[in-house]
């Protein structure tokens, strides 16, 4: 992905030198392999730090709400959809942002790489075409990138940015014939007791660190319901009831807004598959309202519009 890196740097250089934007939000290489991190570049001497490969899973739209300056932002398909959600929710203005669109080929899951290494410590991880080359003290291994994709990326059908000012490369062919909700249906098919047990086990390791919430571009409220103490909406302990309440309420706050970008799941330090909550609601919104979040920039979310043929009587 060297060519994307060079293109992003070129665009950033041009936008900053022509004073079209005040800063560029992109990625730089992390201090450990497979952990690229966000960077906000204001000065020309930092442009060389901008970087791209398949470990840029952080959703940069998370850094837009309430910003006042003019910004350029690097955006994959899912990031661009979250930018659309921010525009629809009044978190940022369109003329404030210059979107550097990245046609995405999927992000690699560092946990899947580590599982393949069976305890060996990776010191250098390089992407070459469709392969991931991992080097450590006494080893060098090559894997197929397709086998290591994040779960959400493997089933992603919106890899091209939906909204952009310029692209860093040719648009990619979108995946088709993907069954996005096989796992959700498996849970729906359980009897209530088994389903209860499933979610109980799913969140049992949760330490309520809120990394999932903090990584999500949708969670921008000045005071989150979990932090509020007057009134206190829910307990702050690790009691299973409090933990479950947090997860269910967070998922409902994301209903009709989640783009399945996977940033929440990627951030969880104990590896909880938190998308099991949001995907169910994503499926319901699609089936009930034929709506996917952030796809149509000029559209409005389903719970934000009135339809004269609404089947609910209370609306008439
Ligand atoms: S969800 Fe889609 S657009 Fe987002 S990183 Fe994965 S493949 Fe790329
Ligand atoms: S990131 Fe993981 S451990 Fe932390 S609150 Fe979310 S689910 Fe729980
Ligand atoms: S809930 Fe998770 S998958 Fe959905 S938009 Fe937020 S971070 Fe992305």
Nearest atom in ligand 2 to the alpha carbon of residue 208 is: 5
Beta strands in the chain (DSSP E): 23-28, 37-41, 71-75, 97-101, 124-128, 131-135, 140-144, 166-167
Residues 202-234 have pLDDT tens digits of: 999 999 999 999 999 999 998 888 888 888 888
Instruction: Considering every ligand atom shown, identify the ligand nearest to the alpha carbon of residue 61 and give its number.
Output: 3
Report which bound ligand comes closest to the CA of 274.
Answer: 2
Per residue in 86-101, pLDDT tens? 999 999 999 999 999 9
Reported as half-sphere exposure (CB side, CA atoms, 13 A), residue 205 has a value of 8
Mean pLDDT score of the chain, rounded to an integer? 94
Place of tokens 């390791």: 205
End-to-end CA distance of the chain: 54
**81 CB near ligand 1 (under 6 Å):** no
Question: 25: CA distance to ligand 3 center in Å?
Answer: 19
Quickly state the pLDDT bin for 1 (edges 50, 70, 90). low
Mean pLDDT for the stretch of residues 291-309:
87
**pLDDT tier at 257 (50, 70, 90 boundaries)?**
very high
Q: Give the residue, by CA position, lying nearest to ligand 3 atom 3.
A: 260
Find the range with the poorest average confidence among 200-209, 284-293, 302-311.
Answer: 302-311
- What's the 196 CA to ligand 1 centre distance in angstroms? 30
Query: Higher confidence at residue 31 or residue 311?
Result: 31
């Amino acid at each position: 992905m060297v060519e994307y890196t060079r293109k992003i740097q070129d665009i950033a250089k041009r936008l900053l030198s022509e004073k079209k934007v005040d800063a560029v939000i992109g990625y730089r290489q992390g201090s450990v392999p497979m952990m690229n991190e966000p960077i906000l570049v204001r000065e020309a001497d930092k442009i060389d730090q901008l970087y791209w490969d398949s470990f840029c899973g952080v959703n940069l739209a998370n850094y837009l709400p309430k910003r006042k300056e003019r910004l350029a932002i690097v955006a994959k398909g899912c990031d661009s959809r979250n930018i659309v959600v921010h525009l629809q929710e009044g978190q940022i203005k369109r003329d404030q942002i210059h979107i550097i669109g990245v046609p995405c080929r999927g992000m690699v899951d560092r946990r899947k790489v580590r599982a393949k290494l069976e305890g060996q410590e990776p010191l250098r991880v390089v992407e070459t075409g469709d392969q991931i080359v991992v080097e450590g003290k006494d080893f060098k291994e090559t894997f197929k990138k397709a086998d290591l994709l994040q779960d959400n990326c493997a089933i992603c059908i919106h890899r091209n940015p939906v909204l952009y000012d310029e692209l860093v490369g040719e648009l990619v062919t979108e995946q088709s014939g993907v069954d996005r909700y096989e796992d959700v249906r498996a849970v729906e098919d359980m009897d209530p007791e088994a389903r209860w047990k499933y979610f109980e086990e799913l969140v049992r390791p949760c330490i309520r660190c809120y990394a999932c919430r903090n990584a999500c571009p949708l969670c921008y409220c000045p005071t989150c319901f979990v932090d509020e103490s007057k009134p206190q909406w829910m307990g702050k302990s690790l009691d299973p009831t409090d933990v479950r309440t947090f997860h269910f309420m967070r998922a409902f706050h994301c209903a009709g807004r989640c783009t399945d970008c996977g940033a929440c799941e990627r951030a969880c330090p104990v590896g909880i598959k938190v998308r099991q909550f949001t995907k169910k609601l994503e499926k319901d919104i699609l089936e009930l309202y034929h709506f996917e979040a952030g796809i149509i920039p000029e559209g409005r979310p389903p719970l934000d519009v009135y339809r004269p043929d609404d089947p609910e009587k209370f609306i008439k």
